[in-house]
Structure 1
């Protein structure tokens, strides 16, 4: 009886201690049915593997609205609003001081992730987030048309322009009067910044601002890249491309009216829809190099899991982050939501390979991804991006040469920076 009583007391004490140390975390969860399904999976795992509880909060789906809300929450140092959330690739420099330093808790995970994605989440030497899923610019092409015209997928922009012109001419002669060689995102918005980064980096012209915060855009290779892009307008690309964002580009390509398209991975799944005119006719390659001595450079996109620096339960939040970013969770996220994993090992998973063989085509794309200089330019990145896409648009629309645009852009970026990026 005495042993039984002591055992019961020990159990009650242990239960009380567990309850005392149990926290309730608030995690961002998408409002879609697939998003909720994934969140329910995470909740079940988190509450089974830790003594803590998990609640969900919904945030605005629009990226700019969501960032604005976070800036309000963090300005007030609100510890109740959210603990764990997803941050866009270009937010980390803006939100740096409001994000928990994860370095000592996650440094063992680094080898499991695409290096460019991991490096994007390191601010001033500190890991401020873990890649949740990836996005990167990719070049889509019509496999059937390249075969029809006896061509191989291009490796350089020069090859792409030649092949696009050849196919465009042939298809128009065959009666498709509205057929174009190449469509992309040419409107003056963030998507143009992504395209311009790919063009300039592919010609070894840098990334506008280097890792040390130095403005590097005013160079001959950057000017050449922009002039090359401008040469496509009205030749292999419609003048209307100057108003295209992602969906306008996809509509033209998926309707069968273009040989090549620059877009993000989401477009592949849609192109393979049973109702798609180009189903089973689409291939994916890395964004072309700028000449034989250039490099493949896909703009890095995607989202990252981060922890509010004002969370009252940082240890529990770190436990949740590790669950969110392990292989099983990323596999489940891919199966339910359809986004591309940021962990290398998930691409080797037999179930993932069997269900989505096309992912193998994107692995090389992700491996060459180049981040925008958001970490380096900190809170001023939105101004930097606006200056970049307006400069690129001026060249594409014929208002400026590449040489004048990069010189003017350098001057504008120097004014934005002032003494230092802040």
Structure 2
């Protein structure tokens, strides 16, 4: 197998195959994330497949930042490297990466029909099923039940209520001696996670989804400016300035240590907050993210990850079988119970064992089913540039470098130039 020297660090000199019982047992490589319990659950799932199939699996760690991970994948694909057989890809990447991925419909025996139809459509590019849904996501709001009760407050319905209640509790907790306590933590680094957060704010104010389904740039509007203006007041107010460099795990670290009232994150954080060694075990509630106002809407950005097989793999049959195993009902149920990863199979949201482990899966089913999509389908290959422009604009507003109206005007011009190149 041809190897690209630049990527040998990933595999650490992995052998392509070994002999087991006189038969050739192949070694399949899979890229898995390491946010929260992701890597552990991936290793457990692949080990179960190994025992069943007789093949080995090498789990490859990739950057936690989705933006950095995409860049790594694109380098591997550009080199036509076969070093990784199975890729964990973001919900917004199928259109960008499709030309490098195998059509899995030839290997699934129709298993995709059990999954959310919208995700299967999302993963189908030019008639090819280039990825199978593994887990889905939507942004949700975590809150400290005990502290809201202490201050006789309710979980917020609007962003203004979140701001006001966060100020109240933060002031009280600091007066009581915890000078590290904050009202709200979230993902503010200039990366894909900020695109998700800022899209939620804007959509909740009825400000649209950056680019609409017809390809028109819609982000420069009063509602979007209002949303960004409110969010900018959180910095050094209810959120630390360091939130401007937070990804998911930094936000979870502050919240789970007991030093924040509210946190925006994905469902994976639930099982970790409820773990035996968690300082906030039994004290956490989860609700839909707030509305922009009385006339706004609850908006959680659609997230989630898929599994895809590289066209450059020398083990396509085995890699596709691994994907089928990992995305199955039984494996998704295990991951839901042990790691609170949202299944992509609707039937699992009625499974009593799943609902006992993660009660809000049932309560927020519509939030997960109807998450706000990023404009990746519309913008296609240009989505990476669209998102990059959007999160950098949001970051500039949050950090006080520019005003919302001016920033959105500049963003509109930039996105229109991208659109003229075709998407």
The TM-score, its normalising length taken from structure 2, stands at: 0.80
- The structure in which a higher percent of residues are helix is 1
> Any conservation in 1 of the 2:50–2:57 contact (CA below 8 Å)?
no
Structure 2 counterparts to residues 289-328 of structure 1, below 5 A? 289-309=291-311, 321-328=323-330
Match of 1:161?
A: 163
Q: CA RMSD in A?
A: 3.3
Distance 1:57-1:68 versus aligned 2 partners, 3 A rule? farther
Structure exhibiting the larger radius of gyration computed from Cα positions: 1
Q: How far off its partner does 1:352 sit?
A: 2.9
State which of 196, 219, 222 in structure 2 corresponds to 1:220: 222
Q: How far off its partner does 1:319 sit?
A: 5.5
Match of 1:18?
A: none
> Any conservation in 1 of the 2:139–2:300 contact (CA below 8 Å)?
yes
State which of 39, 42, 47 in structure 2 corresponds to 1:40: 47
Q: How far off its partner does 1:65 sit?
A: 6.3
Match of 1:6?
A: none
Instruction: Tell me, yes or no, if structure 1 residue 413 matches structure 2 residue 420.
Output: no
SS in 2 for 1:85: strand
SS in 1 for 2:43: helix
> Any conservation in 1 of the 2:94–2:130 contact (CA below 8 Å)?
yes
> Any conservation in 2 of the 1:226–1:396 contact (CA below 8 Å)?
yes
Distance 1:221-1:251 versus aligned 2 partners, 3 A rule? same
Structure 2 counterparts to residues 33-72 of structure 1, below 5 A? 34-45=41-52, 47=53, 54-62=55-63, 67-68=70-71, 70-72=73-75
SS in 2 for 1:59: strand
Distance 1:118-1:148 versus aligned 2 partners, 3 A rule? farther
> Any conservation in 2 of the 1:184–1:244 contact (CA below 8 Å)?
yes
Match of 2:406?
A: 404
Match of 1:89?
A: 91
> Any conservation in 1 of the 2:25–2:56 contact (CA below 8 Å)?
no
SS in 2 for 1:260: strand
Instruction: Give, in whole Å, the separation in 2 of the partners of 1:106 and 1:36.
Output: 22
Q: How far off its partner does 1:281 sit?
A: 0.8
Instruction: Give, in whole Å, the separation in 2 of the partners of 1:324 and 1:33.
Output: 14
Q: Please list the CA deviations of residues 52-95 of structure 1 after superposition, one character each: whole Å capped at 9, or x if unmatched.
A: x74534434225665455445544556x5555432222321221
> Any conservation in 2 of the 1:115–1:367 contact (CA below 8 Å)?
no
Instruction: Give, in whole Å, the separation in 2 of the partners of 1:27 and 1:357.
Output: 34
Match of 1:171?
A: 173
Match of 1:249?
A: 251
Q: Which moved more, 1:177-186 or 1:336-345?
A: 336-345
Q: How far off its partner does 1:282 sit?
A: 0.7
> Any conservation in 2 of the 1:100–1:308 contact (CA below 8 Å)?
yes
Q: How far off its partner does 1:141 sit?
A: 0.6
Distance 1:121-1:272 versus aligned 2 partners, 3 A rule? same
Match of 2:3?
A: none
> Any conservation in 2 of the 1:156–1:289 contact (CA below 8 Å)?
yes
Q: Please list the CA deviations of residues 133-174 of structure 1 after superposition, one character each: whole Å capped at 9, or x if unmatched.
A: 123321111111212222221222122222222322333444
Q: Which moved more, 1:282-291 or 1:357-366?
A: 357-366
Structure 2: runs of 5+ lacking an equivalent = 1-23
Aligned residues: 393
The TM-score, its normalising length taken from structure 1, stands at: 0.80
Structure 1: runs of 5+ lacking an equivalent = 1-21, 48-52
Match of 1:197?
A: 199
State which of 225, 232, 235 in structure 1 corresponds to 2:234: 232
Match of 2:348?
A: 346
Q: How far off its partner does 1:106 sit?
A: 6.1
Q: How far off its partner does 1:114 sit?
A: 3.8
Instruction: Give, in whole Å, the separation in 1 of the partners of 2:67 and 2:402.
Output: 30
> Any conservation in 1 of the 2:28–2:85 contact (CA below 8 Å)?
yes
SS in 2 for 1:90: coil
Q: Please list the CA deviations of residues 339-360 of structure 1 after superposition, one character each: whole Å capped at 9, or x if unmatched.
A: 3322222232233334444544
SS in 1 for 2:44: helix
Match of 1:188?
A: 190
> Any conservation in 1 of the 2:159–2:292 contact (CA below 8 Å)?
yes
> Any conservation in 2 of the 1:296–1:368 contact (CA below 8 Å)?
no
